[in-house]
Chain A
């Protein structure tokens, strides 16, 4: 079985300050991990993914995430928030190996204040 916990349902930051969105996972196998972003009334877009290569993963729009097996965490960060980053972010785990089914976290709403 696999599960994802996003530790904050809502994060609010000021423009130009760092962003940290926290995610813990549970998986019986070596998982693949993803971060997706959803802007209001839009579909989901892949930000980045971890697939057992480098533990520090760089994604689009300046986001990156670090896979920490010992902590079962995959936190998403960005050094400087932009107004256009305001959206909902989903941490996602797949089962590993040939298990391609995705399990989503409940989402973190990021608000960016001017």
Chain B
């Protein structure tokens, strides 16, 4: 298994541009989520999904959209990039959604710089 994969690894955008961060997992996990990591802030939840066709907002959803058309993929869309969205983005997945004890597996991250 490849686990959780993310593309691209690094991206530079200009203010106002849009882009999609890709996330895929091959473990047949139901739960997927997106986090951003900023210095001294830990990781903060952006959006999450408990299965295909179901998404919900996390702690910091503004400026981001998600969709979940398949179990495997969970793309994150930046509609109009702003410098405040400069961050490292992590995608994570876990097997089930019925228990908080599920271990979440993280991708390697995407570094985004917005100029």
Contacts and interface: CB of A to CB of B under 8 A. Distances in A.
Interface of A: 4, 9, 31-32, 34, 36, 42-46, 49, 51-52, 90, 94-102, 104-107
Report the 8 A-B pairs with minimum CB-CB distance, sorted nearest first: A104-B42, A51-B101, A94-B100, A44-B106, A104-B43, A106-B42, A43-B108, A43-B106
B39 to A, nearest CB: 9
Contacts of B103: 34, 46, 49
A101 B58 contact: yes
A49 B105 CA distance: 13
Interface residues of B, number: 26
* Chain A interface SS verdict (over half): strand
A90 B43 contact: yes
Contacts of B109: 43
B43 A42 contact: no
A17 B40 CA distance: 26
B98 interface: yes
B40 A31 contact: no
B12 interface: no
B2 interface: no
B90 A44 contact: yes
Given A43-B90, A43-B108, A43-B109, A98 B44 contact: no
